[in-house]
Amino acid sequence: MRTNQDPTVFEFILTMGENIIIQRYFDVYNYNPRSKKSLNLYYWITDVCNEIQDILKIKNLEYMSDNYHYVTDSKEINIDNSIKEEYFKLDLKKNNEVFINRIFPAHVYHPKARYCDLRPRIRRILYDVATVLSARDLDKKYLNYDLK
């Protein structure tokens, strides 16, 4: 339901290190400020990060399956113990300030399998978060604690 109210602009940004993977600006009509401290927003960002990790796991498995001969045929396997720890960071920003974010490891996936094309899913992801941010019926209680 849209009203004459101006929309609130949010930014969805996924980065790895300093590199931007995907960045989108989107409008939220009827923004509910109480949604910031709701479990609904936490569940949304957890689901999106889990979805990205599932895609990366499949890509990693496909890469390892396609290149299994590299490991099984080599006489010497050099194990590089100096793997640089890298992390994906998913930010949701409002007015250029972090609204909510989540970090998950990237170094557990092969570097050639880290490409995750979210373009087919981005419209649904942004629709889902806009729905959460404009919801009036929010989960504001965790265990016996009120999230205010």
Structural domain that includes position 100 = 8-70+83-134
Asked, for residue 148, whether it belongs to a domain, the answer is no
pLDDT digits (tens, 9 = 90+) for 48-69: 999 999 999 999 999 888 887 7
Asked, for residue 109, whether it belongs to a domain, the answer is yes
pLDDT at 65: 87
Asked, for residue 76, whether it belongs to a domain, the answer is no
- For the record, the structure tokens of 16 come out as 């790895």
Asked, for residue 119, whether it belongs to a domain, the answer is yes
Transcribe 54-98 into DSSP letters.
HHHHHHHHHHHHHTHHHHHH-S-------PPP-EEEEEEEETTEE
Predicted confidence (pLDDT) at residue 88 exceeds the cutoff of 90: yes
Predicted confidence (pLDDT) at residue 80 exceeds the cutoff of 80: no
Asked, for residue 105, whether it belongs to a domain, the answer is yes
Asked, for residue 41, whether it belongs to a domain, the answer is yes
| 3-class DSSP state of 10 | strand
Asked, for residue 125, whether it belongs to a domain, the answer is yes
Percent of the chain residues topping a pLDDT of 70: 82
**Cα distance between residue 119 and residue 40, in whole Å:** 23
Asked, for residue 2, whether it belongs to a domain, the answer is no
**pTM score:** 0.82
Domain count within the chain: 1
